[in-house]
Amino acid sequence: MRADKTLFTGLVKKDRRALARELARLEREEAARRRRHRRIAWRTGLAVVGVAVLSVGTVTIVSALQPTPVLGPMNMASDGILFSGDGSTVTAATAAGLESDATPVASTLDTSDKLLHVVVYADYGSADSALFETTNGSALLSWVTSGYATLELHPVALDDSVNQNYSKRAANAVACVADASPDAVPAVNTALATAQSTAGASGLADDALVTLVQTAGVTDAAVADCITSGTFDDWVVDATGRAQASVPNSDVAALDTAPLVVVNGTAYTGALDDASAFESFVQNVYAPSE
């Protein structure tokens, strides 16, 4: 604020000084007011920027802390791995891995194709699962190889609390093989069943599981790392829980014991160590119309 010289016209010296002091005071107050407004605006601007930066930072930190959805093993979109044959070779069906919160897609049961569709839920810590496999596994695999049947294998862990997590660790080993070398799963499945009777109450150690898988033909170092690190342990627990809640394409509502063997939708309830009884059951279930 600058004084208009005409304001001083007609005033004596004393009055001009008083007026000048008053004008100066008013100018100082106006300048101070402008400075206060600038400080308030500056602080408000900083606060807004700070909140924005904090918000972005918080979102970034929260995003970084959010766990990345864990993928289940490749080639097990149904929680099981499906095999078919062409007369000489058994081949696994391929599929992408499922995220931890994804819903598995059950395989379609189509009996119009005149094939046997066999589904086995196996717990590798269970003597009963091993008994069924050592008794009937060879015949099952021969049917699949010949192209007469499909086989869907579900590794589960029902007996985990009594064998120091061996059921889960062995199922994880199968999942590791399914993820990297799916066609080798039948050989690993057979080897695990054979080893069950001599594995002891605690089952095979992780290093022994790696050796078993390598002996079955899977020498990939990534598979060994997958086994020893328990990569799919959580998936095994989740898949087992899903089977305990519901068994698709079956006359059994839920999994409560292993093995569970389902042929064309009907569960086998006969003796696990009687190959003739199982073969008769299969024939009765299949019973193709002529």
Lowest model confidence (mean pLDDT) among 21-30, 158-167, 223-232 = 21-30
Establish if 76 belongs to a structural domain: no
**Per-residue pLDDT at 64:** 46
Clarify whether residues 54 and 85 are in a common domain.
no
**Per-residue pLDDT at 101:** 77
Establish if 174 belongs to a structural domain: yes
Show the domain range for 168: 81-286
**Per-residue pLDDT at 139:** 97
Clarify whether residues 48 and 153 are in a common domain.
no
Residues of the chain above pLDDT 70, percent: 74
* Total domain count, the chain: 2
Clarify whether residues 175 and 142 are in a common domain.
yes
Clarify whether residues 193 and 120 are in a common domain.
yes
Clarify whether residues 24 and 155 are in a common domain.
no
**pLDDT, tens digit (0-9, with 9 covering 90-100), for 114-140:** 899 999 999 999 999 999 999 999 999
Clarify whether residues 187 and 85 are in a common domain.
yes
**pLDDT for 89 beyond 70:** yes
pTM over 0.85: no
Clarify whether residues 121 and 153 are in a common domain.
yes
**Per-residue pLDDT at 72:** 94
Clarify whether residues 88 and 168 are in a common domain.
yes
Clarify whether residues 46 and 133 are in a common domain.
no
Clarify whether residues 104 and 225 are in a common domain.
yes
CATH of the domain at 137: 3.40.30.10
Last residue of a domain, one of 15, 41, 65: 65
**pLDDT for 264 beyond 50:** yes
**Omega cis (within 30) before 259:** yes
- Up-side HSE of residue 2: CA atoms within 13 Å toward CB? 2
**pLDDT, tens digit (0-9, with 9 covering 90-100), for 170-207:** 999 999 999 999 999 999 999 999 999 898 888 999 99
